[in-house]
Amino acid sequence: MSKGWNADDITDQTGRTAIVTGGNSGIGLITARELLRHGARVIIGCRNEDKGKAAIEQIASDLGTPGIATGIEVRRLDLASLDSVREFAESVDADLPDGLDLLINNAGVMAPPRLLTEDNFELQFGTNHLGHFALTGRLFDTLKRKQGARIVTISSVAATMGKLDFDDLQSVEGYNRWRAYGQSKLANLVFAMDLQSLIRQAGLDMASIAAHPGVSNTNLTAAGNDLDSGWLGLLSKPFLALSDLLIAQDAAHGALPTLFAATEPGLTGGEYIGPDGLRQYRGSPTIVAPRRLALDSGTGDRLWKASTELTGVEYDFSPASPAA
């Protein structure tokens, strides 16, 4: 592991409020813990509130400060349900009249058999991308009310193998779980870059930044390892186990690019943060080059239009309105 920026380098986060989706486990839990440790108020959004509460207990235990748990809470959020996304966003907006400082779009699913969300989207594209697109849009006015708000969207090294098939975004034809995963994570990256372009055009004081954790040994890779999808599934199980053993970094190191993107002063939006090691598999966080496709305005426009049509969520890029 290369030496460089680490969680001790996070600046004081006192006064900031952050939402971490999927903050109940893995990289999300580490992210929530470190933001809390440095003074932020943290809201964990996750499907299972009991697991979220257990995560808060784990965080308090890790930090050795039971009273610190008063600065963190859990709220139910199912990114596979547009109704749940709307309800979560409405509750947050009502409780944060002064605005939201930081939204970390972290939660995700990896490589399941072809399943559908509540709204009949393919599960990976629907959860990883459309759920976060809708959540960010529903919270956009809340974010605008805070000067310098940041939106951090987590992509993956799998985005390098992804392809956006605009004729089949729901992977109906010849479903391949890894191809669908790559598409969803490429969508995360394209969305983050396109959002920053729109923010800049509107002259808003906020930033959209993308990050990826490299190859990290978390519950997400374990879930992918446990799932079967024919012969490809049989091949991927030993591959994932071997990568966890020989390549992957732990969740604490995997969370560093997210934390860097969320807290490092001087980032202005449009950066992509990943590990600085070979092929960005592991290492210390740094600014890395995104796929050229992610910077293509035509691709961004097509994905934005499709996402708006599928979710029904429109973004308002006008200046922030005063809190009610």
Point out the residues that are catalytic: 181
Contact 41, 63 (CB under 8 A): no
Cα angle, residue 276 at apex, residues 275 and 279 outer, rounded to 5°: 85
Closest CA to 152 of 214, 197, 210: 210
Structural contact between residues 131 and 85, judged by C-beta atoms closer than 8 angstroms: yes
Residue 242 buriedness (CB in 10 A; 0-12 / 13-18 / 19+): exposed
Give me the sheet containing 149-154, strands edge to edge.
Answer: 72-76, 41-46, 17-21, 102-105, 149-154, 206-211, 272-275, 285-287
216-217 and 102-105 strand pairing: unpaired
Token look-up 């006008």 returns 318
Give which of 226, 206, 214 is closest to 284, Cα–Cα.
214
CB atoms < 10 A from the CB of 243, how many?
16
Position 213: which residue type?
A: P
Q: Which of 34, 128, 133, 19 is nearest to 74 (CA)?
A: 19
Distance of CA 58 to the CA centre of its chain: 21
Beta partners for 149? 206
DSSP state of 229: B
Backbone angles phi, psi at 275, to 5 degrees: -65, 150
